[in-house]
Amino acid sequence: MSPLAQLLEAALFAASRPLAVRELMTLDPQAGEAAVRAGLDELRAAYAAGHGVELVEIALGWQFLTRPEHAAAIAGAELALRPRRLSPAALETLAIIAYRQPVSRVEVDEIRGVDAGAVIDKLIERGLVEVVSRGEGLGRPLLYATTPQFLEILGLKDLDELPRLEELSVALRPPAAPA
Amino acid sequence: MTTLPPSAVDQAGFVVELEQFSGPLDLLLHLIREDELDITDLPIAKIADQFLGVIDDLGLSQAADYLEMAARLLRIKAQTLLPRRPGDDEWEDPRAELVRRLLEYQQVRELVDWLADAAARRAERFARGFMPEARPVPPAPLVVELNELLAAAERVIALIPEPVLHRVVPRPLDVEGATERIQALLGEREECSWLDVVGERASVVDVLSAFIALLELARRGALKLRQDAPFASIVIRREPPRAAA
């Protein structure tokens, strides 16, 4: 491996969170973005086979993750815990915020048909949702958006990896006008 | 009567939800799927009855969100029962808004499935130093010297403003006394003025008492009030007792 790829390997090993390309570029002032991206590709190729971990692009950055086939054994030996699963109410709220962001609580309530306040508070506590601004209109409501942590727990590179609404089997369209 | 969705029962061991459904729209969607109904042409009377039945069954009647939906369904049901003329193009299907919300919610449910799958796949991979939950760093234990603590306490005490005490003296209106005074005055003469009743230097309480007494006596027909111009002195005139009284 090239010296830059080895430097990236060391940094990604040392960090316990996904590192963005911008952050990795500060490792070596000489290396530009293209060189860092090339180094990451080299590193990913080196770990593509014959290793228990692999380099994954996730949450707007890069991170070493264990391969799925080892998960059961690691969790079974209680060396690491699987994250707590999100409740249906939490997932519903996350889905709405992810697609409508920045979105006010009232809009989430309307779509879900229930008061989502407590669920949103819990999502904020878990770092999956944050207040980004205040909206126009009555009372200048707080507007919520998803965080990089949201991408991380779903294993997504970025929000563009979410399915497009028109790809869903129930594409939202206005109800057919009565004939 | 309807049965609970198997998925809700399966997941119950993992995620403890207060109810089996994440909301009234979820329940509604479940009922629609169970009976294979057409969302865009909802048989509203049928679905409203089933919805009410399930609310009863599940003991969800405490939940305001479910009650609100029940009320909405009954209103739509009532609206669809209203007769309408065939040529009435102003008429909008009362179900349209509900159908739009159901379709939107159905889309959200599909996204939920997608997100749950993604989260499950991600849970099969561990990152380095993986912690179950990102916990906030606890604050460092407080280390203070006794004299620092005392100095701090003194600073706080110095900030406390001097309490200002107000003595509140109850002084209820004396309508009865004012009534007696007016009646005594009118016993002596047929007519008197406002100032005769309250005097030159009346307090607010005296003025109010006298005023209420005057109004009450006027209502009973014991006297007549007259004011010749705005802000002029009020003239109080005795009324002859009614013969019939």
pLDDT digits (tens, 9 = 90+) for A2-29: 999 999 999 999 988 899 999 999 999 9
Alpha helices in chain B (DSSP H): 6-11, 24-34, 44-58, 64-81, 96-122, 146-159, 175-188, 194-198, 204-220
Q: Give the range of the structural domain holding residue A33, as residue numbers without chain letter.
A: 3-76
Beta-carbon separation of A68 and B22 below 8 A = no
Amino acid at position B156, single letter: V
Nearest CB to A172 within list B69, B104, B119:
B104
Least Cα separation, residue B30 to chain A (angstroms): 14
What was the pLDDT predicted at B70?
87
Q: B186 lies in a domain?
A: yes
Nearest CA in chain B to A59: B122
Any domain includes B202: yes
Q: What is the pLDDT of residue B208?
A: 87
What percentage of chain A's residues is helix, strand, coil (to nearest 5)?
Answer: 45, 15, 40
Which residues does chain B have within 8 Å of residue A88's beta carbon, measured at their own beta carbons? 11, 15, 17, 22, 26, 112
Residues A58 and A108 in one domain: no
How much is the average pLDDT of A160-177? 66
Contact B62, A110 (CB under 8 A): no
* ipTM over cut 0.90: no
Residues B42 and B109 in one domain: yes
> Are B114 and A121 contacting, i.e. CB atoms less than 8 angstroms apart?
no
Same domain, B191 and B116: no
Q: Quick check: pTM over 0.90? A: no
% of chain A with per-residue pLDDT over 90:
70
DSSP string, A6-32: HHHHHHHHH-SS-B-HHHHHTT-TT--
Is the pLDDT at B39 greater than 80? The verdict is yes
Q: Do residue A49 and residue A107 come from a single domain?
A: no
- Residue B209's domain comprises 175-238
Boundary residue ending a domain (A15, A41, A76): A76
In tens, the pLDDT along A120-156 reads: 999 999 999 999 999 888 888 999 999 999 999 999 9
Residues 117-136 on B with a CB inside 8 Å of A are 118-130, 132-134
Averaged confidence pLDDT in chain B: 79
Among A49, A76, A103, the domain boundary falls at A76
The number of domains in chain A is 2
B118 and B179 together in one domain: no
Residues A94 and A158 in one domain: yes
Residue of B nearest to A78 (CA): B132
Mean pLDDT of B133-161: 81
- What residue of A is the nearest CA neighbor of B25? A113
Rounded to an integer, the average pLDDT of A52-71 is 94
In this model, does residue B104 exceed pLDDT 70?
yes
Mutate to test the interface with A, among B19, B22, B97, B121 (most CBs of A within 10 A): B22
What percent of chain B has pLDDT above 70? 80
- Going across the sheet that includes A103-104, the strands are A103-104, A142-146, A129-134
CB neighbours (10 Å) of residue B31?
Answer: 17
pLDDT of B86: 67
**Is some CB atom of chain A closer than 8 A to the CB atom of B69?**
yes
Q: Which of A54-58, B84-88, B202-206 tops mean pLDDT?
A: A54-58
From A6-20, A66-80, B126-140, the region with the lowest mean pLDDT: B126-140
